[in-house]
Structure 1
């Protein structure tokens, strides 16, 4: 569940500083996937989790799949999702086994991805069955 519009997570000051400066506090540097975000240039825009404000990816990681960055799909339950495609998203972690059932991208299997910080469902990791590069489809309204 997303917080009401206009609210900020408890750690909004540190996350705002990160978005403004691109720098994490010294205690956060060099640990796991977050360190990859720390290595990216300060000038690039950080995309954060809409629930907790944790860094998820950068705008320079945006890619086009089937000639589009933004896609809209329905899942089997009829729920609509607007997703954006990214090459890397070190702020999420895949869950479960890859599945090819009801995939939105032919020849790709998907796995749910969760925010590494708050465990909110942020989208899917799509892995090509022929070994082509994987990509992340992140739910647009769950990112900030």
Structure 2
């Protein structure tokens, strides 16, 4: 049986106390982390800009949809995906979100809306200009004013990409691999 001196036991006890303090500090920092740090994003498929996050997805059903289905997106179950067709005959699968980092055109269109009672404006990626969808606001909304609980965005699913999938596409050159 190995013999331990009083000094080595004291050192081990001190090390254990320091380790416990370090774990508590790390745990405290994790608790203080904001939701944004851990949220998953949908990115612009063209340039990779972070467009919207999982916690901002919002279910807004429309009777104008040609078809509706639910799917899991960004780990969020039961996300409503709706198929719409514009007057030119082009079809879009759209998800809705309460906010997104997009640039909204100034022109507001009250007609040909997929969401009755709402006017729309075109929304594009602020980085590359790719058409990402539409911003919707109530007809009586002061156009150009701050978004409210009633405003939302319809984003074209095919123009977005999940951040994890985008990360998997990045290839490390052989010369940097170990």
TM-score w.r.t. length of structure 2: 0.55
Unpaired runs of 5+ in structure 2?
A: 1-33, 63-78, 142-148, 162-178
What is the correspondence of 1:35-50 to structure 2 with a 5 Å cutoff?
40-50=35-45
TM-score w.r.t. length of structure 1: 0.68
Q: What is the RMSD of the two structures over their aligned residues, measured on CA atoms?
A: 1.7
1:40 to partner: Cα distance: 4.7
Partner of 1:61: 56
**Is 1:137 aligned to residue 154 of structure 2?**
yes
User: Residues 139 and 97 from structure 1, CA distance in 2 versus in 1: closer, same or farther, beyond 3 angstroms?
Assistant: same
Aligned counterparts of 2:118 and 2:80: Cα–Cα separation in 1: 16
Partner of 2:18: none
Checking the alignment, whether the CA contact within 8 Å between 2:110 and 2:139 is kept in structure 1 is no
Partner of 2:121: 111
1:62 to partner: Cα distance: 0.4
C-alpha distance after superposition, 1:31-56 (max 9, x if no partner) = xxxxxxxx752221011100000111
| Number of residue pairs the alignment of both structures matches | 105
What is the correspondence of 1:1-144 to structure 2 with a 5 Å cutoff?
40-66=35-61, 69-90=80-101, 92-131=102-141, 133-144=150-161
1:100 to partner: Cα distance: 1.4
Checking the alignment, whether the CA contact within 8 Å between 1:62 and 1:69 is kept in structure 2 is no
Aligned counterparts of 1:53 and 1:40: Cα–Cα separation in 2: 21
SS of corresponding position for 2:158: helix
- Provide runs of 4+ in structure 1 moved above 3 Å: none
Structure that is richer in helix per residue: 2
